[in-house]
Chains A and B, each alone.
Chain A
Amino acid sequence: MKYYQREIECAPRDTLRALQSERLARTVRHVYQNVAYYRDLMDKKGVGPDDIRSVDDLPKLPFLTKDDLRDAYPYGLLAVPLHDCVRIQSTSGTTGRRVVAFYTQDDIDLWEECCARAIAAAGGTKDDVVHVCYGYGLFTGGPGLNGGSHKVGALTLPMSSGNTDRQVQFMCDLGSTILCCTPSYAAYLAETIVGQGRRDEIKLKAGIFGAEAWSEEMRRDIEKKLGIRAYDIYGLTEISGPGVSFECEEQTGMHINEDHFLAEIIDPDTGETLPDGAKGELVFSCISKKAFPLLRYRTRDICVLSRETCSCGRTLIKMSKPMGRSDDMLIIRGVNVFPSQIETVLLGAGFPSNYQIIVDRVNYTDTFEVQVEMTPEMFSDKVKQIATREEDLLASLRAMLGISPKVTLVAPRTIARSEGKAVRVIDRRKI
């Protein structure tokens, strides 16, 4: 069973297109009637629900961005009464940067079905043992794959993240066959398993790895070490969570579940829609969801869409791995980090806003350093006093970002400036 919903995944293009058009028109009407925020945007653009009859009309709709999510926080983009919602999921970060998404039971089912398609594409069936070590909780990783595994009917191990020795023990004792986690954690687990000499004790056959960028080289390395096929999966909380798109056995891009999520590529500067095959910013419209159906949401991920037929038999459009961002957001250890958040913390803690973020990847794990220039005000002849200030800063950064950087105090004027403007981010990761 390599498909979970064959009739949709392999539907003739015309059938899929007709379904998309019908769902888009219905969703636009639903949003226009129930979301004042988006209705205003549509009115301002002079477009009404009657103007949207097919997917060809998509470019007529206004965009939504993360700024809109901030402005409308928390209920402004909710399209159903709160009593119809059964769940929220959220991203890390502070108010304004944090995304809170709402789900009806149907929305949860749809999301889990998308994850089930990813698991089936990785060879998952009722006979598998799916080992989920994405975080559970507000983060969509754990709940998404957990739900997908249930839909497939596999035995699900809701491990959550951390406690590597226990992960390996369960994997050996219970014969996990499909591993779901971030690629960096998969690499770490692989090293641990090989290091403990337990490679023969595991029964893994496939892995579904997402929530951060990874290279083809890293894929081959994980595959070799664990003796598995490693599949990519993509998603974002704004749209639903993991499973917006997923890889098939061809491993040449991720099939977008476009019966639920319409994808477009736009020029990030002009907003103009680009043809398939062009590189640009990925934009999604949710056409099946009820509670939080964002339309033309700009992901800021830069990638390419491909309509070429796939050997797996799926007709769903494929997207490349994201090749970069059209904003300054960094994804570090799976967590979204904006340089402006770091600036806010520094200023609040009395440090100058002259800082530099250095991101690298060592042994497949992201390293994250924030360099801050020392000032006379923050200086003291006592080590303890400076160390305390450094610790306070670290605690504030951790609270703001959800992950811990290494804080390094540097001498004034040591942070490189080009054309008088400081270089804020140095990303040495080669992905």
Chain B
Amino acid sequence: MAIDQISIFVENSPGRLAEVTQTLGAAGIDLRAMSIADTMDFGILRLIVNEPARALEVLKAAQCVFSVTPVLAVSVADKPGNLARALSALAAEGVSVEYAYAFIARQRGNAYVIFRVEDNERAQAILEKNGIQVVNSDELYAL
């Protein structure tokens, strides 16, 4: 039930980030979630979009460097403390989280957290065993 996250290489120069998001926006691609990791001289833009396949075509045409990574999404709004529970459950089983980022879906008033782990299936099993709902891609793209 992993979700395709698109990671895009962004040069650390003014305007590059805006350029990439505008390119996607112009093609009618909606961003569901976005996170930026940057260092002194480059950045990685991580996106969840409504139409991943078409977004990839757009990025390819724009000659961007990108990759697709399967990630897990967890709904944390249903029960308070879900995020902490999810993290400690994964930690207890020795699963390290490479990175994570949260976003809110306005219509539903829901908060979601994206997890990047090495083994999605195992992480999902652990989360579900602990009563944490892993969200599927249909739900996320339809937001």
Contacts and interface: CB of A to CB of B under 8 A. Distances in A.
Q: Do A and B come from one complex?
A: yes
A411 B8 CA distance: 10
Interface stretch (B35-43, B80-88, B128-136): B35-43
B63 A374 contact: no
In the complex, which range does the number of interface residues on chain A fall in?
10 to 19
How many chain B residues sit at the interface, stated as a range, is 20 to 34
A382 interface: yes
Interface string B96-117: 0011000000000000000010
Contact of B65 (A376, A382, A408): A376
Interface string A362-395: 0000000000001110011111001100000000
Contacts of A412: 63-65
B67 A379 contact: yes
Contacts of B65: 374-376, 379, 411-412
Interface in A207-221: none
B46 A381 contact: yes
Contacts, number: 50
Given A376-B66, A411-B64, A412-B63, A383 B39 contact: yes
A190 B99 CA distance: 48
Contact of A386 (B11, B42, B64, B116): B42
B54 interface: no
B5 A381 contact: yes
Interface string B9-46: 11100001000000000000000000001110110101
Interface of A: 374-376, 379-383, 386-387, 408-414
Report, nearest first, the 10 A-B pairs whose CB atoms are least far apart: A381-B7, A411-B11, A381-B69, A374-B65, A374-B9, A383-B37, A409-B42, A379-B65, A408-B41, A410-B11
26 contacts: A374-B42, A374-B65, A375-B65, A376-B65, A376-B67, A379-B9, A379-B67, A380-B7, A380-B67, A381-B46, A381-B67, A381-B116, A382-B98, A383-B39, A386-B44, A387-B39, A408-B41, A409-B9, A409-B11, A409-B42, A411-B64, A411-B65, A412-B63, A412-B64, A413-B63, A414-B11
